[in-house]
Structure 1
Amino acid sequence: MHDPHSERMSSTEQRAAAGLAAVFAFRMLGMFMVLPVLATYGQDLAGATPLLIGLAIGAYGLTQAALQIPFGMLSDRIGRLPVIYFGLLVFAFGAGLAACADSIWGVIAGRVLQGAGAISAAVMALLSDLTREQHRTKAMATIGMSIGLSFAVAMVVGPLLTRAFGLAGLFWATAAMALLGILIVAVLVPRPPRALATREAGVAPQALGPTLRHPDLLRLDFGIAALHAILMASFVALPLALVEQGGLPKEEHWWVYLSALLVGFFAMIPFIIYGEKKRQMKRMLLGAVSVLLLCELFFWQFGGSLRALVIGNVVFFAAFNLLEASLPSLISKVAPAGGKGTAMGVYSTSQFLGAALGGLLGGWLFQQGGVDAVFLGCALLAALWLAFAATMREPPYVTSLRLALSPAALQEPGLVERLKAVPGVADAVVVAEEAAVYVKVDKLQVDRTTLERLVEPAPAC
């Protein structure tokens, strides 16, 4: 029997984190590989226009946004594994449909179907079922890193695969990755003892209203929507700018993205450390959004040479990676006690909606005024985001904890008030149906062991 309070992850937890991170990585790799190639190779498809290519780039976001919360709730009812298997099969079928398409509409249909395999919430809920609360943050960070890595790999592998096998080959590779994901879940991921519908891992309907009325959460939701809209719109224009203004053949684009992502990844690390350690997350956020805005203006004004486009790409991806990594951390800090799962569900939905709208916006702007119109439109969106973010309060530097309650502790009056009186406890809420209390704590002031002792009632004399 593994010690429930051990500071080390058990082998089961390690297998769960590694296996589910791999599933996420393969699935997101299939989503992202299309980004650097569709604007250039997609022009050869029947009926292709810039607007429809933009729609194809972001189309997966529409169904992903609509279905990921319902699929997460369905996994609470029928189990995680059936939802994950079904979602991966739908994703593979969508990739196959896009691979067989000879028109832009066929690719759009395939991308819409890919997005319908919306398993993100179910995978995160399964990870929560398979890990203890004190290790859940590490396990979720593993998945976060796998998504970031898959994005970096996709920017390089997408152009290389398409160069070798065409768009159809790229989509068939995507289908194969989804099927490999099914195999990983079947073989590597442990079976959960039972589904735990906790408020940290899934959407709680009763927490939805407060989440949608929370001003700072809404600012962050707008931020992730704007970030992914800017990303998708930029990928309507950047590959074409590299060809037309930089004189770089589409088969050679991989090295630009590889350089940008490698430099951008290492460039962001000091800023992440600064924001967290020095408790300057708001300043870091505003700085990164400002850099994103300046990048788009730079592309607009000076993107006429390959050197300028490469430099712009490097700085763009440094800012993008920094924002992509820091926004979920801010959501976790700002969400009220017991509301993290719901806040993350709304956040993810906003991200996918942003991707869908960004593809459409990029395609429409390109039809109106070429790459310059896209870059200027992205700059305006970044400026709007900067205005929203500037009014945000400095986030509380707290962590969410979930403490199990005994039947006696659950009946004890005044527990929440007693917890809130502890220095370093920002918020607390008892959820009777889970026999647990959710607490937001500053770990520099109070630790988990102290709180666990506090929630247990004193023995009767």
Structure 2
Amino acid sequence: MQNNIINGAICGYMMRAFDKNQFRILSLVSVTIGLRTLGLFMVLPIFTLYGEKFTGSYLLIGTALGAYGITMALFQTSLGRLSDRYGRKLIISIGIATFIIGNLICADPINIYGLILGRLVEGAGAVSSAGIALVHESVPVNRRNISDAIIGVAIGLSFMLGVIVGPLLATIFNYSSIFVIAAIIGAISFIPLWKVKETKKEKMFKIKAHIDSKLAVISIISFFIYFYMIVFYLYLPVFSLKYFPVSRFYEFLIPVVFIAGIIGLAIARPADKNKTVLFSLVSLIVLLISVPLFFLNTHVTDVTYFALSVAGFYSGYIISETVFPTLITRLAPKNSYGGNLGFYTSMQHAGVFFGAVVGGLLIIKVNHDIPIMIIIFTLFVFSIVLLYFITQFREIYLSNNVE
């Protein structure tokens, strides 16, 4: 019922905001990205248990968990630039194929180092920037926040479905089967991608290597957001088990993601009306507030408080996914969207890798949540300072975007 409401709300926004061709491209790209991320999220709830089959070292397990982030970070910029030159669909197709191979390696890795290798290969298919660039080239400049919100909701729904279905499939089959299923889902994601009609103009862009200092600062902020994201996912199963078994995570995730998705969509329209910087600040403040709410769960036993803390994270995260890519495309020349979005997403996935490693080390060596809470809280205070440094909290207008 709730999924139908979400889908209806998304379709309503899309039909009003985009013409038929824009609607088609946004829908197909959202499905492609959503299917691919579904494969990533399915393994999150069972990854530690799977890693324990190969090693007793939680540092190595944490490295395997975050390994895909470092190769995504390394390849996002280069693949984004290649998509500027050779076309989005070709580069996205190569990325999906790499993702499939990586999952098949993870399904039968022999040892923990094979699992790390599989995750590295999985992350090498880093095509988020090419997908976002394809959408941004296809929709009006004053509708990009809405398009990013819809992609963000697709990713959020993939996470919700993944953490529900992953443990259930592991119970029915086994842990390694989750990676095989993720590879199959990756193969299915070719179908909507092939239905996208890419224009000749999109294929003729030249490679631009320059990354503006303001773009670099926004990308650093994205590093901090994703650092928090992976640590959030690392702790979420631990905190959730106080209230629900893994098989019942959906009882709080469905309403929480639904509420956060509606908030993200509601903010997209005013953000498009020259309030992108304002809502970038709002996203950072909401995430900042959610940090102590979430990590102090160890001292609170109220399930309502827990749901509120998770909702705070998701709301701030989805808002950030709505507005920060638009800041990039407002600052970047149109013929280098892929390269600049590639650098942006590279920093995001670098945050995934370092967040997983640092979070894992603190769990192992400190065995409580206060140090990581302080680190992340400080990062978001610094992020707000950085946002002021590049914008003075004033709007970045579309006139800055030149061909």
Query: TM (normalized to structure 2)?
Result: 0.80
Percent of aligned positions that are identical? 24
Secondary structure of 1:59's partner? helix
Cross-structure match for 2:12: none
Q: Deviations over 1:113-163 (max 9, x none)?
A: 11111233444566678x487799587776455334433433433344344
Q: Secondary structure at the match of 1:396?
A: coil
**Counterpart position of 2:6:** none
Q: Residue by residue, what CA displacement relative to the aligned partner does 1:371-429 show, whole Å, maximum 9, x if unpaired?
A: 41433432232233233234342343533xxxxxxxxxxxxxxxxxxxxxxxxxx4475
Alpha carbons of 1:290 and 1:49: their partners in 2 closer, same or farther (altered >3 Å)? farther
Matches within 5 A, 1:47-446: 47-75=55-83, 80-101=88-109, 103-124=111-132, 131=138, 137=144, 143=151, 145-186=153-194, 188-190=195-197, 192-193=199-200, 196-198=203-205, 204-205=208-209, 208-209=210-211, 211=212, 213-214=213-214, 217-243=215-241, 246=242, 248-277=244-273, 279-304=274-299, 305=301, 307=303, 308-335=305-332, 340-372=337-369, 373-391=371-389, 392-399=391-398, 426-427=399-400, 429=402, 438=403
Conservation of the 8 A alpha-carbon contact between 2:329 and 2:337: yes
In structure 1, stretches of 5+ residues that fail to align are 1-6, 400-425, 430-437, 439-461
Answer yes or no: is 1:25 the counterpart of 2:26. Answer: no
- Tell me which amino acid in the other structure corresponds to 1:27: R
Asked whether the equivalents of residues 160 and 254 of structure 1 are also in contact (C-alpha less than 8 Å), the reply is no
Check conservation: 1:233, 1:360, Cα contact below 8 A: no
What is the distance in 2 between the residues matched to 1:329 and 1:80? Answer: 18
Q: What is the identity, as a one-letter code, of the residue corresponding to 1:393?
A: Q
Distance apart, 1:230 and its partner CA = 0.4
**Structure 1 residues 158 and 377: CA distance shift in structure 2, 3 A:** farther
Q: CA RMSD in A?
A: 3.3
SS of corresponding position for 1:248:
coil
Which whole-Å CA distance do the structure 2 matches of 1:310 and 1:139 have between them?
A: 27
Cα pair 1:126 1:192 within 8 Å, conserved = no
C-alpha spacing 1:162/1:311, structure 2 compared with 1 (3 Å) = farther
How many correspondences in the alignment? 382
Structure 1 residue 229: Cα displacement: 0.7
After superposition, what is the alpha-carbon deviation per residue over 1:89-122, rounded to whole angstroms, capped at 9, x for unaligned?
2211111111223644333222111111123344
CA drift of 1:355 comes to 1.3
Q: TM-score, normalised by structure 1?
A: 0.71
Relative to structure 1, the CA distance from residue 272 to residue 249 in structure 2 (aligned partners, 3 Å threshold; closer, same or farther) is same
| Runs (5+) with no aligned partner, structure 2 | 1-16
The residue type paired with residue 55 of structure 1 is T
Contact 2:69-2:123 within 8 A present in 1 as well: yes
Give me the whole-angstrom Cα distance separating, in 1, the residues matched to 2:141 and 2:275: 25
> Where is the helix percentage greater, Structure 1 or Structure 2?
2
Change (3 A) 1:70 1:317: same
* 1:274-331 Cα shifts (integer Å, max 9, x gaps): 5554x44444333432332232222333434251333311222112111221211222
Greater mean deviation of Cα atoms: 282-291 or 18-27: 282-291
Greater relative contact order (CA < 8 Å, ≥ 6 in sequence) = 2
Q: Distance in 2 between matches of 1:139 and 1:247?
A: 35
Contact 1:19/1:185 (<8 A) preserved: yes
Deviations 1:150-209 (A, max 9, x none): 3343343334434443432221121001111234444x234655753337xxx512xx14
Instruction: For 1:323, give the aligned amino acid.
Output: S
Between the aligned partners of 2:133 and 2:333, the Cα distance in structure 1 is: 19
